[in-house]
Structure 1
Amino acid sequence: MLSQIRFSTLRLALGLMLGALVLSGCVTGDGDTRHLQPLPARLVSDMSAKGMSQSDPILVRIFKKESELEVWKRDRSGQYALLKTYPMCRWSGQLGPKKREGDRQAPEGFYSVTADLMNPRSQFYLSFNLGYPNPLEKSQGATGSALMVHGACTSAGCFAMTDEGVTEIYGLAREAFAGGQRSFQVQALPFRMTPENMARHRNSPHIAFWRNLKEGADHFEATKQPPKLAACGRRYVFNAREGSGPFAPAEACPPYEIDPDVQPLVSQRQARDEARFAELIGSGTPAMSYAHLDGGMHQSFRTMLKSLGPERMQPMVAGKVEISRPDAALADPFGGDDAPGRTDTTGSLAPR
């Protein structure tokens, strides 16, 4: 993965991360024409090979635990296909939703990014605002602002990429808007919503919320189309049939049906996942336990950072981290796959 990132850019990003962890937000500053950089020729070639054009609509998926950001793009079939996966350089907080200003939590949920949320003059190179809190989060009293995807590899509630990575992502959004897309959906998820991950995290206080997020992920996986969003009864509703509602996030759900073209596809996927989930529980798959560490980053960046020495790793070792057994705590503070006990630095399920 690091072969795709210029070494000088990476060193600069890591330096900014280590020197700027005390920053408390993702605010904007002066910039230049960096937001107008054309998409790399190789990326354009990849689009063409996958039946996509620069102007086709996009969708973004973010996975905290894996520290990855995916850009999906509509292809000539009319469905969305994965264009590229970007390693995330830094996210802060724990697994679980953001609740209040200053809690350092990177948010989880479904967001709609419009052109006015794009920030070409970001203090963190380039950025776009997720639009947190969304209507459901507002109805629950959530507070916070300027929750971004940006560059500079430092985070206090945002999702930080490298400058090179965010330049590509920003450019893909720019071209989609120019092609007529009015907004693109961002699915910010705690982890890949597999039966295996759901089984491991089944004792979390957030499990009901995550099951609701999984519904939306299932709708997308089953149809390869962004699910239509609504909210009621303090939860998301996906692909409600036309004419259903009205929906109000803080009110009880009215009678509604899922789009009949979508429901069989989603039900089939959910039944398969539930069967696998039951199999995992029946075979004794252990639930997670937790030690202390804050946030996470992609394994490629962890490897680079570890090479800089323990004194530079230390600023990152604060907060909570999931572990597979108690004696593995902090065996490897950056949670590499080769770590004793498979320590994982991607966050806790406990609220801060």
Structure 2
Amino acid sequence: MLREPGSGRGRRPPSGSSTVFLRKFLSVLILLWVAFGLAACGGFLPKSDNNRHNQPLSSGTVNALKAMGSSPGEAMVIRIFKEEKTLEVWKRTASGEFRKFRDYEICAYSGDLGPKFKEGDRQSPEGFYTITPGLMNPRSSYYLAFNTGFPNKFDRAHGRTGTDLMVHGDCSSRGCYAMTDQGIAEIYALARETFKGGNPSFQLQIFPFRMTAANLARHASNDHLDFWKDIKEGHDLFELTKAPPTWDVCERQYIFNAVAGAPLNPLGPCPPSASNPTLVAKQQADEAQFASVLANQERAAAEAAAIKERGEAVSGFFSGFGNLFGGGKDENITPVISGKPAPIPHPRLQRS
């Protein structure tokens, strides 16, 4: 006998094995969804999908490089400042010094100021990284991308974890630095031409903010202050010499321009580093300014607290003064309600 469609009669109930398979399949889907949510910014497009990684630099960009005494194939450095949401590209010039070529706006970065600690914390890294051709992603699902190289030697020495921490396009970030598609297209092309020019790598420097004494004092209570002072030395060396400093890790901290031929043990003792009188003078001046700004902040906070305290005292005095003459409201007085009608008032007496 034929059954009516949708009546539910005559259906064979799912077998136990089918139910188990369905549950396992749904579990896998959930795990994949969670992993995707915690993952950073990896992903690839099919090879046939685009050729955007081979877009040539515009004639305007090439001419601008030439005007500053550089060229597409010259060495480069990238600096990122989180708080200012700025990415800088610096290029080496004919004089051997690096000059800033262009600023690019960062659409978004993940997390707060401070370094990345573990996979899934959705925090963007900070520190010094070395970018090689193998870290470039020409078929990124985020338009174009290059990997920051996190975790580097310093990160590993501190047990930090994370994968696919990128600088990419698409204006969307999960632990990465997201640029506009137009911005990453030019940055990617500049990196590509740098490698073609014979440079095996370029340096990526990532800072929480402009590394001034005033900014450090503004964040003096932050748990990352010592780390920021550590990477500030590399920042200052680049500012002073206009050349990327060599960096390594020892005693679980960064060391710059170390006098050592072989790579250092990140947990071992630090060797001496090359003395730079100009750097020492700058560090001393910055420490003095840091202390001065911090003292001014503490003084201003104390004055604000004193003013508030005086204001509360004056307010309390006038409140009590008013209560003394019946002008205030005594919260302890309970009105008496008798339920009887009020008496009719008598007319005023006429006085001659």
Identity %: 48
Say whether 1:100 aligns with 2:118: yes
Alpha-carbon separation, structure 2, partners of 1:223 and 1:113: 21
Please say if residues 63 and 188 of structure 1, whose CA atoms lie closer than 8 Å, have aligned partners that are also in contact.
Answer: yes
Say whether 1:230 aligns with 2:248: yes
Considering fraction of residues, name the structure with more helix: 2
Which structure 2 residues correspond to residues 158-173 of structure 1 after superposition, within 5 A? 158-173=176-191
Q: Could you say what secondary structure the match of 2:191 adopts?
A: helix
Alpha-carbon separation, structure 2, partners of 1:187 and 1:74: 16
Query: Using a 3 Å threshold, how does the CA distance of structure 1 residues 80 and 247 change in structure 2: closer, same or farther?
Result: same
In structure 2, what residue type is equivalent to 1:247? Answer: L
Normalised by the size of structure 1, how large is the TM-score? 0.71
Give the equivalent residue in structure 1 for 2:286: 273
Shift of 1:265: 2.5
Give the equivalent residue in structure 1 for 2:296: 283
Say whether 1:249 aligns with 2:266: yes
Shift of 1:246: 5.8
Give the equivalent residue in structure 2 for 1:25: 40
Shift of 1:285: 6.4
Shift of 1:46: 1.5
In structure 2, what residue type is equivalent to 1:284? Answer: Q
Q: Following TM superposition, where does structure 1 have runs of at least 4 consecutive aligned residues deviating by more than 3 angstroms? A: 21-24, 285-288
Shift of 1:224: 0.9
Bigger RCO (CA 8 Å, 6+ sep): 1
In structure 2, what residue type is equivalent to 1:268? Answer: A
Query: Using a 3 Å threshold, how does the CA distance of structure 1 residues 287 and 76 change in structure 2: closer, same or farther?
Result: farther
Query: Using a 3 Å threshold, how does the CA distance of structure 1 residues 121 and 248 change in structure 2: closer, same or farther?
Result: same
Deviations 1:268-291 (A, max 9, x none): 221222222122123226999xxx
Query: Using a 3 Å threshold, how does the CA distance of structure 1 residues 27 and 215 change in structure 2: closer, same or farther?
Result: same
Please say if residues 99 and 142 of structure 1, whose CA atoms lie closer than 8 Å, have aligned partners that are also in contact.
Answer: yes
Give the equivalent residue in structure 2 for 1:41: 59
Please say if residues 242 and 259 of structure 1, whose CA atoms lie closer than 8 Å, have aligned partners that are also in contact.
Answer: no
Q: Could you say what secondary structure the match of 2:214 adopts?
A: helix
Deviations 1:132-156 (A, max 9, x none): 0001111211111010000000000
Shift of 1:62: 0.5
Say whether 1:120 aligns with 2:138: yes
Shift of 1:24: 3.7
Deviations 1:148-168 (A, max 9, x none): 000000000000000000000
Query: Using a 3 Å threshold, how does the CA distance of structure 1 residues 60 and 150 change in structure 2: closer, same or farther?
Result: same
Please say if residues 200 and 286 of structure 1, whose CA atoms lie closer than 8 Å, have aligned partners that are also in contact.
Answer: no
Please say if residues 136 and 250 of structure 1, whose CA atoms lie closer than 8 Å, have aligned partners that are also in contact.
Answer: no
Please say if residues 39 and 163 of structure 2, whose CA atoms lie closer than 8 Å, have aligned partners that are also in contact.
Answer: no
Please say if residues 148 and 165 of structure 2, whose CA atoms lie closer than 8 Å, have aligned partners that are also in contact.
Answer: yes
Unaligned runs of 5+ in 2: 1-35, 302-352
Q: Could you say what secondary structure the match of 1:122 adopts?
A: coil
Say whether 1:59 aligns with 2:77: yes
Query: Using a 3 Å threshold, how does the CA distance of structure 1 residues 123 and 200 change in structure 2: closer, same or farther?
Result: same
Alpha-carbon separation, structure 1, partners of 2:300 and 2:80: 23
Shift of 1:57: 0.5
Alpha-carbon separation, structure 2, partners of 1:54 and 1:148: 23
Shift of 1:213: 1.0
Query: Using a 3 Å threshold, how does the CA distance of structure 1 residues 23 and 42 change in structure 2: closer, same or farther?
Result: farther
Give the equivalent residue in structure 2 for 1:204: 222
Q: Could you say what secondary structure the match of 2:56 adopts?
A: coil
Alpha-carbon separation, structure 2, partners of 1:145 and 1:287: 44
Q: Could you say what secondary structure the match of 2:119 adopts?
A: coil
| Structure with larger Rg | 2
Q: Which moved more, 1:122-131 or 1:46-55?
A: 46-55
Shift of 1:242: 4.0
Alpha-carbon separation, structure 1, partners of 2:93 and 2:86: 22
Number of residue pairs matched? Answer: 263
In structure 2, what residue type is equivalent to 1:58? Answer: M
Please say if residues 107 and 179 of structure 2, whose CA atoms lie closer than 8 Å, have aligned partners that are also in contact.
Answer: yes
Unaligned runs of 5+ in 1: 1-20, 289-352
Normalised by the size of structure 2, how large is the TM-score? 0.71
Deviations 1:23-75 (A, max 9, x none): 74211221421011111222222111111111100000011101110001101
Q: Could you say what secondary structure the match of 1:283 adopts?
A: helix
Query: Using a 3 Å threshold, how does the CA distance of structure 1 residues 40 and 140 change in structure 2: closer, same or farther?
Result: same
Match 2:235 to one of 208, 217, 221? 217
Deviations 1:111-148 (A, max 9, x none): 00000100100000000001100011112111110100
Please say if residues 222 and 269 of structure 1, whose CA atoms lie closer than 8 Å, have aligned partners that are also in contact.
Answer: no
Q: What's the Cα RMSD here? A: 1.9
Say whether 1:150 aligns with 2:168: yes
